[in-house]
Structure 1
Amino acid sequence: MVPKPTKAASSRAEDIAARLEMEILRSGHPAGTRLGLRTELISRFEVSPGVMNEALRLLRDRELITVKPGPSGGVFTADQPPGVRLGALDLWFQGLTIPPLEIFESRTLLEEMFNNLALQNSTPADHKDIERGLHQMSNSAGDPRGFFEANVEFHRAIANSTGVTVLTSIYHSLVTVLTGALVRAVWTDGHEQTIDHNLRVHGQILEAIRAKDRKRLETATRLHRVDMVSIAQPEKSPAAHIDLSPTGETDDSNVG
């Protein structure tokens, strides 16, 4: 019977697993990249074989690595799917105790509520803050992580304009958790056209709020939901689990 690792050994193994997980996700190595022999990792982290075995077990359980025996074996990266696919953007997260897709779904519902409240409560000064977020998105179109963070700032400005302090505080906490846990962001193939459309839709949200035009806002909100759905893997997108209309009918809009 294999003895269970001690509490101290488990803690050390979890620390090593977390460091290797961060390294794997941030590096963007393709699946099959060799991280080294088990003995090399033991030497690198200066731990016992038992601690390293536990760290590797944790990484295998997270589907981040494979371990192959033999002279040509070692520890290799596995194919890590993104935690969230947001339109043309694939996102990887580390250290979240709640699935990131669930956090994104909560974020989406709060943002749509804030859009409607901003329609009533926002001021011209608020509109300038929202517009700054839109400009930041446009200026970050070449940087996937920067674009995501600018998108957060756009919607944060809308939330701030509502005057609903408790819910705004909850929203700030959600997006702070997401941005803090984000370790990798990558554009999908052919993202340029989708990003152009996404910028136009965010501009429509701003103009609807500025004009206090509820019908225009409803249209822009529907387009925004469609924009968030990944064509390649819609089940990894937050808006894919939310009805696109009051009747639950889906929208056939082409986000391209």
Structure 2
Amino acid sequence: MLPNIMSGFGSSGVTWERRSEKVSEIVAREIVRDIAKRRPAPNSVLESESAMIKRYQVARGSLREALRILEVHGLIRMKPGPGGGPVLSEVDSRDFGRMATLFFQVLDIRFSELVEARLMLEPFIARLAAERHDPDDNEELRAIVQQGFEARSTDPWLQATDAFHTKVLSMSGNGLLTLIACALKDIFTERASTVYIANEGDHVRETHARIAEAVINGDAETAERLMREHLQEYADTVAEREPNLMNEVVDWR
């Protein structure tokens, strides 16, 4: 028996096939492909519903289901009222991490496993940052470290700490590794952010400064070692202060 095939045209005019999977899923993929090709700015309103129906040659119900798929995954949000419609979100690693936690929960992934993965991945990326980073990023990294020294209340301190790790990871020159590692960091931080408070973080501040200088100076071995020691110390502190957390399943949030 022949598979169920429906033909249509993407924005490129190239024929694509819709086989046994739902039309809405294929349309969602086509929309993503067009977004990646055109690169509209975040918060841009995409085409109207009528224009999309014409472009993707689908029924209104299938298009709305496709948009709902993208909304659930955090790529778009729906703006109501006149002039509304699908709006492109400013997606980041938190959206990726939020989606990943759905699978973590179903697969019974424990927080201790997430910590172990971060301990393996982030020091290696710190090494890459030292080896590959753009020198134009050096002053921004130093400025973030300085923000940490100046932060004496909890919220600014947590923001500076998060910014430090995000910046080092972004300097690796590998976008995929950066996305995955930042997502693990985001999940970790959301669940264990109260372990260190601002008034006891001087050792962390000094460690961040040393890691930053190793990255800036291209000392890959030192950057990797210091980051591993830093994260291990943090993981040990979490295990000591919140022992039950380490055995919890990383649930979908």
Structure 1 or 2: more helix by fraction: 2
TM class by shorter chain equals: 0.3 to 0.5
State the TM-score, normalizing by the size of structure 2: 0.45
TM-score normalised per structure 1: 0.44
